[in-house]
Amino acid sequence: MGILENKARARLFYKYLSKVYDEINPFIWNEEMRDQALEWFDVSEEDHVLDVGCGTGFATEGLLQHTNHVYGLDQSIHQLQKAWTKFGKTDQVRFFRGDAERLPFADDSFDALWSSGSIEYWPNPVAALEEFRRVVKPGGTVLVVGPDYPNATVFQKLADAIMLFYDEAEADRMFTEAGYTDFEHHIQQRRPGSPRAITTVARVPELTEELEA
C-alpha cells in the first residue's frame, strides 16, 4: 500500500497541494480528457450526479455543463474550501465532507456518480466501489478515473510506494468484486509520454441481474 493510501496522510497532503492544485492538474488531467470522459458518462440535465473526490471542482465544472443537479464530496476541507469559493456561494453545487468508503447518503440517492483523481488514495477501493453501487440507482452510471500503471519497472516501484496505480486487469478485478458486471475501460493521455489515466465506465446492475448472479 502506498504512503498516500492513508486518509490522514492524504488529508495532510491536500492541505498543501490545494494551494497549487488548479495550476498542476492540467498537466495530468486536462479539459480535453475530462470532456471526453463526460461524453462516455452521458448524463442528462435532470440527472442527480454525485462527484466523489471533487477536490477544487475541476470535474464539477464540467459536470455542470451537462446537468443542473451536482453534489460534491471530498474528505479534504482545504480542497472543499477551494470548490466552495468557485461554486458554493451560487448554490450551483451542494457540498459534503465525507469518505468514499462510507458515503453519507441513502441507497439509490443518485442517477449517476463520477469520481476522478480520487481512487488512488482509497485504502480499500473495492469497498468504495460497493458504496458507489449502493447510492446509485439500478441502471445508473458510475465513472471512475485513476492513474494507469506505468510500463517501466523503475516507475512501477515508485508508483507502488506512493499510491494506487492499476492496469485494466486490476480494474476488472476491483469492479467485479464490487458487484459490477457491465463495464469498460478507456486509456487517456494528455500527450505521448505524459501520465496515462484509466477511465472506467460501469453500469449499476438492475435488481433482476443481481438476483440471477
- Domains delineated in the chain: 7-212 (3.40.50.150)
In this predicted model, which residue has the larger pLDDT, 159 or 48? 48
Please provide the average confidence, as pLDDT, over all residues in the chain.
Answer: 83
Residue with cell 463526460: 38
State pLDDT tens for residues 58-105. Answer: 999 999 999 999 999 999 888 898 898 888 777 889 999 999 999 999
Q: Residue 89 burial by CB count (10 A; 0-12/13-18/19+): exposed, middle or buried?
A: exposed
- Full 3-state SS string of 5-68: CCHHHHHHHHHHHCCCHHHHHHHCCCHHHHHHHHHHHCCCCCCEEEEECCCCCHHHHHHCCCCC
